[in-house]
Amino acid sequence: MSVNEIIEKAGVKSVLADNDKDLIRRAFDFAQSAHKGQKRQSGEPYINHPLKVALGVAEMGLDVSAISAALLHDVCEDTSCDTATMEKNFGKDIAFLVDGVTKLDKIRFHGTEREAENLRKMFLAIAEDIRVVLIKLMDRLHNMETLSFMPADKQKRIALETLEIYAPLAYRLGIGEIKGQLEDLAFPFVYPKEYEWLILQVKDPLEDRKKYVARLTPIIKEELEKENVKNADIHGRAKHLFSLYKKLLKYEMDINKIFDLVALRIIVSTIEECYAALGVVHKLWRPVPGLVKDYIALPKPNGYRSLHTTIFGPEKKVTEFQIRTKEMHLEAEQGIAAHWAYTEGKSTKSYQEKGIIFASKKELGWVSQLRDWQKEFSKPDEFIESLKIDFFKNRIFVLTPKGDVIDLPEGATPIDFAYQVHTDIGNQAAGARVNAKMIPLNFELHNGDVVEIIVQKNKKPSSDWLEFVKTAGARKKIQAHVRQFREVAAFSQKGGQVVELRLSVRDRIGLLKDVSGIVADFKINMKSVTSETKNRVYPLIIINAPIKSRNQLEKLMVKLKTVKGVEEVSYKLLTS
């Protein structure tokens, strides 16, 4: 595998200028010297990995910047190098892409479903650019292909992350082929027993089905040609193993109930031919009622288009057909990347200009899916124009040093972060590091920042923090502390403080006497006792009394709560 292979692939969709070729070569040389002497877990030279990733990116038809960034994607992770160096050598666009991929490396999935959806969103928010996501998907694909060389404890975590985060992302971007590959690679690591079971189950039926489908192919071909549909590409396609497994879960694990174990694909030139082909198939064999699906007229939310039908074939074997145009086929396999490839092929425009071509809504079913993720993202054109993923406008996602995701409102500070992680961490926050640099506590956090809070025992929250915190949770906790602090000060200053105690009660005969008795036991002289009953479910007894210390106040409140009929006790410090 060499850089020339990549240049060749990159030149398939559009002719590369000499300086584009030079750029790719320079990126390769830089990566090669950066990874010099490094080995993958498999023992092969490290550089093979970025080469594989870049080849995948080139096959997707992405631009020269993305291909170069793919070659460089692990340089900053594994060796001493920074964004400034990248930018100096390769320009802003590539430096931005490499930085994006490096940031995404910090995301770790630890395994709850609730977390998964957040993580997927954060992934896109941090990536900021679809190209970053696509590079990362190719990176993950190659890492999955070589997962067996990793230590066992890592295998499971990485495979689960692939299943929960990467495969769904690929699906939502409409990249069905990558999604299927990622899932199938992760499957044996995440569910080893189920995988073994499935392989045994599927072996014979799969072979039978492949032979069966091969028999049908010439029959259809002949009939299509009679209808003047020429050059149709007809082939059988075995279902991806993991999606087969998921389907089996819904069908009592009975493989005989799965009609698309091997589906027949008919790929034609035009939409008219799609419907003509459907007619031909239905003329040959009787369709199963209710299983004809027109995803051309009504595409799936991720943009998928095809005609599906299921028929009773020869020997009454139930068989699924998928009928689509070449363009739809490419879209189904490559999703958003296919759109990219199309515009790339058709125009000589620069990357920024091309963004506008993307805005053709008809072509972009996948955008509607992305929009569903965040309803407030209302103008797909804007989004596409820059290819920036900034539709999580009001939220940012930052990381703990362990890689856990913390979701915060825009403008949030390390104090908001600290309280979100744990109240004690907020209360004892003394300083903060963001991306390993010391920063002030009112620093505004950004997507993908790795935030570390420095705590100091016995440190107290400061009322100054109230001026900059953004989350209600942090505000409440700081206020509670500040109030407590003031109270301690109030008691200690005077050696006594007038407190207003408010008791919600279910009134009964003798209640007030019991309450007064307890106050007297504490040797406290009440200044006044009043009650309020108007518009209340529970009447209120209000006692004003001087109290010596916070400690005494707390003890008194505990005692009052034990009185039968007292439902709730609260207090207020009165300024004398």
CB of 14 to Mn ion, least distance (A): 26
CB of 94 to Mn ion, least distance (A): 16
Please compute Rg for the chain using Cα positions.
33
Q: Which residues contact 505 (CB under 8 A, 6 or more apart)?
A: 511, 538, 539, 540, 541, 565, 566, 567
| ∠ CA 331-352-102, rounded to 5° | 75
Q: Which of residues 297-336 bind Mn ion (CB under 5 A)?
A: none
Q: Do residues 321 and 308 make contact, with C-beta atoms less than 8 angstroms apart?
A: yes
Task: Identify which of residues 136 and 240 has a Cβ nearer to Mn ion in the complex.
Answer: 136
Task: Identify which of residues 139 and 260 has a Cβ nearer to Mn ion in the complex.
Answer: 139
Phi, psi of 377 (to 5 degrees): -75, 100
Phi, psi of 316 (to 5 degrees): 60, 25
Sign, CA dihedral 426-431-434-439, equals positive
Q: Which of residues 136-155 bind Mn ion (CB under 5 A)?
A: 139
Task: Identify which of residues 103 and 339 has a Cβ nearer to Mn ion in the complex.
Answer: 103
User: What is residue 431's three-state secondary structure?
Assistant: strand
CB of 34 to Mn ion, least distance (A): 13
How far apart (Å, rounded) are the C-alpha atoms in residues 325 and 331? 10
Task: Identify which of residues 144 and 277 has a Cβ nearer to Mn ion in the complex.
Answer: 144
Phi, psi of 459 (to 5 degrees): -70, 145
**183 counts as binding Mn ion under rule CB under 5 A:** no
Q: Which residues contact 4 (CB under 8 A, 6 or more apart)?
A: none
Phi, psi of 343 (to 5 degrees): -65, -35
Size of the site for Mn ion (CB under 5 A): 2
How far apart (Å, rounded) are the C-alpha atoms in residues 24 and 29? 9
Residues annotated as catalytic (active site), given as ranges = 77-78
Q: Do residues 267 and 233 make contact, with C-beta atoms less than 8 angstroms apart?
A: yes
**What's the DSSP call for residue 61?**
T
Q: Which amino acid is at 499?
A: V
Binding mask 90-129 for Mn ion (x = CB under 5 A): ----------------------------------------
CB of 73 to Mn ion, least distance (A): 6
Q: Which amino acid is at 83?
A: T
Task: Identify which of residues 76 and 232 has a Cβ nearer to Mn ion in the complex.
Answer: 76
Structure tokens belonging to residue 494: 């005077």
Q: DSSP assignment of 138-156, as one string?
A: HHHHHHHHTGGGS-HHHHH
Pick left, alpha or beta for residue 109 (phi over 0 → left; psi -120 to 50 → alpha; otherwise beta).
beta
Q: Which stretch binds Mn ion (CB under 5 A): 69-77, 121-129, 346-354, 444-452?
A: 69-77
How far apart (Å, rounded) are the C-alpha atoms in residues 139 and 56? 9
Q: Which amino acid is at 550?
A: R
Q: Which stretch binds Mn ion (CB under 5 A): 132-140, 400-408, 546-554, 564-572?
A: 132-140
CB of 49 to Mn ion, least distance (A): 6
Q: Do residues 380 and 388 make contact, with C-beta atoms less than 8 angstroms apart?
A: no
How far apart (Å, rounded) are the C-alpha atoms in residues 215 and 234? 12
Task: Identify which of residues 73 and 305 has a Cβ nearer to Mn ion in the complex.
Answer: 73
End-to-end alpha-carbon separation of the chain, Å? 84
Task: Identify which of residues 136 and 305 has a Cβ nearer to Mn ion in the complex.
Answer: 136
Q: Which stretch binds Mn ion (CB under 5 A): 67-75, 164-172, 491-499, 562-570?
A: 67-75
CB of 36 to Mn ion, least distance (A): 16
Task: Identify which of residues 13 and 140 has a Cβ nearer to Mn ion in the complex.
Answer: 140
Q: Which stretch binds Mn ion (CB under 5 A): 56-64, 70-78, 375-383, 533-541?
A: 70-78
CB of 35 to Mn ion, least distance (A): 10
How far apart (Å, rounded) are the C-alpha atoms in residues 365 and 342? 15
Give me the residue label for tokens 């007064």: 516
CB of 77 to Mn ion, least distance (A): 7
Q: Which of residues 444-503 bind Mn ion (CB under 5 A)?
A: none
Task: Identify which of residues 102 and 413 has a Cβ nearer to Mn ion in the complex.
Answer: 102
Q: Which of residues 71-90 bind Mn ion (CB under 5 A)?
A: 74
The strand pair at 497-505 and 540-547 is best described as antiparallel
CB of 31 to Mn ion, least distance (A): 11
How far apart (Å, rounded) are the C-alpha atoms in residues 15 and 498? 85
Binding stretches for Mn ion (CB under 5 A): 74, 139
